[in-house]
Amino acid sequence: MSARTTILIAEDVEINRVILKEMFKEQFKVAEAENGQVAIEYLENSGKQVACILLDLNMPVKTGFDVMVYMKEQGMMEQIPIILITGDDSKETEEMAYNFGASDIIYKPYIERVVMRRVKNVIDLYAHKNRMEELVREKTLQVQEQSRMLKETNEMILDGLGRIAGYKADESKEHTKRIKKFTRIMLDNAAESHPELELNEEEIDMIVRASALHDIGKLGIPDSILTKYGQLTPEEEKLLQSHTTIGCEILDDFNLMGNQQFYQYCYDICRHHHERWDGKGYPDKLSGDEISPTVQIISLVDAYEELVAERAYSTPYTHDLAVESILNGEQGAFSPLALECLELSSEEFRKLVEFSDKISLL
């Protein structure tokens, strides 16, 4: 912040300007304006150097009140204190001046020690206030930068955990990226077509990041089950399904940096992304709107990605076949909301699947 070292004296009577200038010339640079128009022009060109303005009310061309109106319109009154100098000691003038935003009023004739003390007090007060505001701005920027860096770090950790879980399940390294990208597309369409969901950009961003952890519980499942090519036994199937609850236990250990809303998204997605609209999912047998709209959408995204992804043990579906099989109910029961969003998102999904080797999924 540049130093404010100038006192601007706006007074039409020359002898009064001379008296005031003599008081302050040892401590400050002093600028003079013989009317309100000259004062405004000085503020336009050099306002950032002004520490205080001593302002007469009754001046030709433009009055002191005109100067105050200009300063208020330009946002200068927060930075430059105004001390009115006037011979009118009426209550009406005083009330009007303070209502306009004057910091103090000095009445003519001037008493030097009173004038100097009041001016110094007001300048010191504003300088302190401006320093505090600058410190607050700097601190705010620091916090915002720290928050940005923490968010990026969290994103890397979450993606890493999601990928590790994917590697255990013999999934493509692009699995987490696909899930996040497909989820964002679906949520953007859901927000646009269903404003009652009240999904804003910040919430969509949190949900997309949380989607990376949907299968984190697979870290607790034996590799022999995750990579088994043949049909699982009932015991093995039950153990595999427990990845939903294991994921929640892992989340509890991380505590997710104290963000309760983000934690709740992660928890719901981990625990319920295999629930089904007809109640035949797991682990809690939720049905219908017992499943949050967020999880309804991510459940379908997960199913779609499973169909179109390259797997060592299966041939991937084409986009059209994957969409058709989901819409026909061949992949389980999904909510009307999720199915509608899939239809809205279909062409964007197609582009990502067909040209994923040419475009970034980040």
Contact in structure between 86 and 107 (CB atoms under 8 Å): yes
Average pLDDT (149-177) is 66
pLDDT in tens, 307-329: 998 765 678 899 999 999 999 99
Average pLDDT (13-23) is 92
* Tokens 């300063």, located at residue: 71
Is the pLDDT score of 277 beyond 70?
yes
Share of the chain above pLDDT 90, in %: 51
pLDDT band at residue 113 under the 50/70/90 scheme: confident
* Tokens 């250990």, located at residue: 253
Backbone torsion region of residue 33, taken as left when φ is above 0, otherwise alpha when ψ lies between -120 and 50, otherwise beta? beta
What pLDDT does 61 receive? Answer: 93
pLDDT in tens, 122-150: 988 888 888 888 888 888 888 888 877 77
Q: Tell me the CA distances in angstroms from 250 to 27, 239, 260, 271, one per residue in order.
A: 66, 16, 15, 11
Rounded (5°) CA angle 10-12-15:
100
| Whole-angstrom distance, CA of residue 30 vs CA of residue 254 | 61
* Domains in the chain, CATH or no CATH each: 6-139 (3.40.50.2300), 169-354 (1.10.3210.10)
Average pLDDT (31-47) is 95
Considering only CA atoms, which of 344, 361, 229 is closest in space to residue 308?
361
Mean pLDDT over each residue of the chain, to the nearest integer = 87
Q: Reduce the secondary structure of the chain to three states and give it as a string.
A: CCCCCEEEEECCCHHHHHHHHHHHCCCCEEEEECCHHHHHHHHHHHHHHEEEEEEECCCCCCCHHHHHHHHHHCCCCCCCCEEEEECCCCHHHHHHHHHHCCCEEEECCCCHHHHHHHHHHHHHHHHHHHHHHHHHHHHHHHHHHHHHHHHHHHHHHHHHHHHHHHHHCCCCCCHHHHHHHHHHHHHHHHHHHCHHHCCCHHHHHHHHHHHCCCCHHHHHCCHHHHCCCCCCCHHHHHHHHCHHHHHHHHHHHHHHHHCHHHHHHHHHHHHHCCCCCCCCCCCCCCCHHHCCHHHHHHHHHHHHHHHHCCECCECCCCHHHHHHHHHCCCCCCCCHHHHHHHHHHHHHHHHHHHCCCCCCCC
CA terminus-to-terminus distance, the chain: 39
Is the pLDDT score of 360 beyond 50?
no
What pLDDT does 158 receive? Answer: 67
At CB < 8 A and 24+ separation, what contacts does 122-126 make? 122/52, 122/81, 122/83, 123/51, 123/52, 123/81, 125/81, 126/51, 126/52, 126/79, 126/80, 126/81
| Whole-angstrom distance, CA of residue 153 vs CA of residue 140 | 20
Average pLDDT (278-302) is 95
| Whole-angstrom distance, CA of residue 323 vs CA of residue 308 | 10
Give the least confident one: 97-111, 120-134, 148-162, 207-221: 148-162
| Whole-angstrom distance, CA of residue 149 vs CA of residue 142 | 10
